[in-house]
Chains A and B, each alone.
Chain A
């Protein structure tokens, strides 16, 4: 499927501090591998993810962005992941409209105990994005440097 076997997508993964970041740590502790082009940014809660951050990532050349948070009902801050889910639904639909395929964005619930799920999710996501190929970069027209 891949056009260029050398090319590797850049994946930004936003992980909430309490569940998914711990889940990512657990997949490390269990030595469950996933591709090295997944880079994690720690945020306190999935609801901290400002849509701007995702737009910025696509401006700077990210090929896929994934948000991981606590399972619905398990949010440390009670309702944060519900906010995140709603916001992302809207944002992803808008990105789709702008020409960033739906498969390049994803929300996944990973608990602190789901190291295996974290690794599997990342493997799957990288595969999906790799199949889509390089992303068109969004352009920031405000400050062309």
Chain B
């Protein structure tokens, strides 16, 4: 038999002014199972809590109902009170008679009647409450950062700084990411390599950090605190531990016509290569698509010239399995493919380049050694047209992205400024829809481009670019003056929209992390939990969550690191006890629940059950991992046999509430 205690709070006059608290406690005293019904001015005060504690002990209560403010306010407070009296904290229910009763109703009789009904519902529910134990799950004190760009590097450095081991998985042969390809950075115009490469070296030298370069995540299982990850180390055909990075092989390799991906195909490299001089790790890698030794067994020059003997043509992909407590996604971005934008003649003229290609053309370590030359005839361009929002801020039906890529306004201002600074005889035009420069010192930077550097900013879009006689005829409209413009340009630079890296979608599936329609990772809360994925133990860093500039990326990377540190500094995690639980006798292993679970918390197990005539049957039944389940209850409704139920919000409990309310 249940022994339930009801405690009605006055909340000073907040409740008592519109609800007859005495009448409520009198009415609720008559409910089945209620052995005690009291009211007091402030239940949450020390005296009020003592009242509850003493009553639990004296009346040997088996359940407690508190009619007070919203459970969002004091549920935790009262759970502790109940626990102090030796009762399981989940044998408590709160009837919200303040926010949802006394504060919204003016009629005292009506409010009192409603308070009684809400109290009844809580009593009906608490009758069916069961003691719940919050489980604990251990934490592996190692983090995985997927992506070795500036976001991943910063996150890894911060985690290592706090004393935890961290692994970086980078699919390219070197860490550094997109930032290694940039020339200068806005708004300070300091060189990207000068600020990035020391951080890359720090990563390599930090004994807490392990770098898996030229590697990809193959599979992820497990959950917060104990993820199990399989990493594929792609074959480099060069032994990483032996190669000294001298670069002799990259000079002697006879295969010279390989498009250089680091310079976006603007020049060529050899089949064996080191992406760039400051690569970390500085180890050569053989491009199997072009190496004649690997393709048809003829050559072997690199092996002959390698003094260290690092070349190994028989190397195979290697699979490494590791355990992690937390995973950070830092997969970054890519500029969109511009081949669909033929109005700008991108695929028809080599002098129409994307902004990232322009970055390489301006870079001292780039294909032209930092001298700005037209890719077609290697002459100095005299008129350069920059087109903004190529593929950004498009209509939902169009071919581009609906969002603003955020960084283009600023880097275009930077490009325009650098052009005018290096080559004052060039005319620079920027066509824009809007100039968006929120950010510290950003607007000042843009104004400097216009006012001091004399860049022609024209509001309007470029309609067409046609290559004619070595020139690029640019047709555009000036929206402010309402006229058509025709410019004979030497070069056109397209500020391509940025999109999440292609690897992000399959990774999200592996991590059971959610994504939006643009393939950006979704954060746990758009405002209040911006660096956490809704999946526990998975964190987000950098552009994989949305377009960001470098300062924002670094800030988010550090924020993600601090969340990881917070998680790894615990020895175990307390789990939410209100999780789903299957009734194995009713479960038929149909997988309906597994399909709707957003967390991948449900697995199946073949279990032995007693069959007819002393036989044993092997049946597939659902298993819920309490450390992963977040308690949403989607599975409970999807289950066709009603085998799945949610602790703390069980079918019977909610039905009892419905009954009490409709009585």
Q: Taking beta carbons and an 8 Å cutoff, which residues of A are in contact with B? A: 10, 12, 21-22, 24-25, 27-29, 31-34, 36-37, 39-45, 47-53, 56-57, 60-62, 73-74, 76-80, 83, 87, 119
Contacts and interface: CB of A to CB of B under 8 A. Distances in A.
Given A48-B633, A48-B646, A36 B658 contact: no
Contacts of A41: 121, 654, 657-658, 661
Given A41-B658, A48-B632, A57-B658, 8 more contacts: A12-B661, A12-B662, A22-B72, A33-B106, A76-B534, A76-B632, A78-B534, A80-B598
B632 A40 contact: no
27 contacts: A25-B99, A27-B104, A28-B70, A28-B100, A34-B104, A36-B101, A36-B114, A39-B121, A40-B100, A42-B71, A43-B649, A44-B632, A44-B646, A45-B632, A47-B637, A49-B637, A51-B637, A52-B655, A53-B654, A53-B658, A62-B658, A74-B526, A76-B632, A77-B632, A78-B522, A79-B514, A83-B637
Interface in B57-90: 70-72
A4 B658 CA distance: 25
B455 to A, nearest CB: 39
Contacts of A29: 99, 103
Interface string B97-114: 011110111110011011
A33 to B, nearest CB: 5
Contacts of B101: 28, 36
A53 B661 CA distance: 12
A36 B632 CA distance: 28
Nearest to B646: A48
B100 A25 contact: yes
Contact of A32 (B104, B121, B659, B663): B104
A44 B650 CA distance: 11
B632 A50 contact: no
Nearest to B514: A78
Contacts of A80: 598, 632-634
- Give chain A's interface secondary structure class: mixed
Contacts of B154: none
Contact of A44 (B111, B578, B658): B578
A21 B72 contact: yes
B662 A62 contact: yes
Given A36-B114, A43-B633, A60-B662, A78 B104 contact: no
A27 B103 CA distance: 9
Contact of A36 (B105, B598, B637, B649): B105
Interface of B: 70-72, 96, 98-101, 103-107, 110-111, 113-114, 117-118, 121, 514, 516, 522, 524-526, 534, 578, 596, 598, 630-634, 636-638, 646, 649, 651, 654-655, 657-659, 661-663
Smallest CB-CB A-B distances: 10 pairs: A28-B99, A48-B633, A60-B662, A77-B632, A28-B103, A45-B632, A36-B110, A47-B634, A25-B99, A78-B514
Nearest to B110: A36
Nearest to B578: A44
A39 B103 CA distance: 14
A43 B655 CA distance: 12
Contacts of B634: 45, 47-48, 77, 79-80, 83
A24 B637 contact: no
A28 B98 contact: yes
B104 A47 contact: no
A6 to B, nearest CB: 13
Contacts of B654: 41, 43, 48, 50, 53
A47 B598 CA distance: 12
B637 A87 contact: yes
B262 to A, nearest CB: 37
Contacts of A21: 70, 72
A21 B663 CA distance: 22
Contacts of B70: 21, 25, 28
B658 A48 contact: no
Contacts of A27: 99, 104
B107 A48 contact: no
A110 B44 CA distance: 29
B530 to A, nearest CB: 14
Contacts of B662: 10, 12, 57, 60-62
Nearest to A73: B516
A78 B598 contact: yes
A24 B661 contact: no
A23 to B, nearest CB: 10
A28 B522 CA distance: 31
Contacts of A73: 516
Nearest to A51: B637
A79 B72 contact: no
B637 A56 contact: no
Given A28-B100, A87-B637, A47 B632 contact: yes
B655 A36 contact: no
B117 A39 contact: yes
A7 B12 CA distance: 33
A5 B341 CA distance: 66
A87 B651 CA distance: 17
Given A41-B661, A83-B596, A47 B105 contact: no
Contacts of B655: 52-53, 56
Contacts of B72: 21-22, 25
A136 to B, nearest CB: 14
A76 B103 CA distance: 27
A44 B72 CA distance: 12
A29 B101 CA distance: 11
B640 to A, nearest CB: 12
B196 to A, nearest CB: 34
Contacts of A25: 70, 72, 96, 99-100
Contacts of B522: 78
Contacts of B661: 10, 12, 39, 41, 57, 62
A62 B633 CA distance: 24
